[in-house]
Amino acid sequence: MKSNSDEVIVVKLNPKREETWRYEGRILSKHPHSLLIEARFNREAVPFHGIILHKNDRFLERYYSNRWYNLFEIHDREDDGLKGWYCNVTMPAEFSDGKISYIDLALDVLVYPDGQYLILDEDEFIDLRLPHEQQTKARQALDSLVALAQSGQLESAVHDGDLRP
């Protein structure tokens, strides 16, 4: 990837490596094992656990090549107000020229601006029937995400990249 303003395609894959979602973003910063991008929600309005995701809501997304999760900070398309954070348990992201891809492992944590959080999709995670080692790494990632939520450090983790819970 060439410069901090590079356009990038994000590709979400299921554990069978089948594409489930694709969208464009722009790289804002790079760290040795992570990228921060800005992207716009590219689907029609979706009610989601008390918030509404609107087409063109602004997402700041932190992807890691050495961690089993990624972090999305969600901002309203109208006033840029913070809607919350969406944290995905994933296999480490793969970075290539102009592309970020990651394998989603279903487990998620939704964190509201007031610090309350929900753990989502545990049933879907169990249904994946992942090998034991992947299950263990996914559960450890979930624990790390909950620790970030409880400590109030999600904003720093998204913006600074290499913060540890």
In three-state secondary structure terms, 136 is helix
69 vs 126: CA distance, rounded Å: 17
pLDDT at 160: 86
**What parts of the chain have a pLDDT lower than 50?**
1-4, 165
What pTM was computed for the model?
0.92
pLDDT at 165: 46
For the chain, what is the radius of gyration of the CA atoms? 15
pLDDT at 3: 45
Domain boundaries, the chain: 7-160
Q: What are phi and psi of 73, to 5 degrees?
A: -100, 125
pLDDT single digits (tens) 12-42: 999 999 999 999 999 999 998 999 999 999 9
CATH 2.40.380.10 fits 7-160, yes or no: yes
Q: Which residues contact 89 (CB under 8 A, 6 or more apart)?
A: 68, 69, 104, 105, 106, 107, 108, 125, 138, 141, 142, 145
Contacts 24+ apart (CB under 8 A), 39-42: 39/10, 40/77, 41/77
103 vs 93: CA distance, rounded Å: 7
Phi-psi region of 98 (alpha: psi -120 to 50; beta: other; left: phi over 0): left
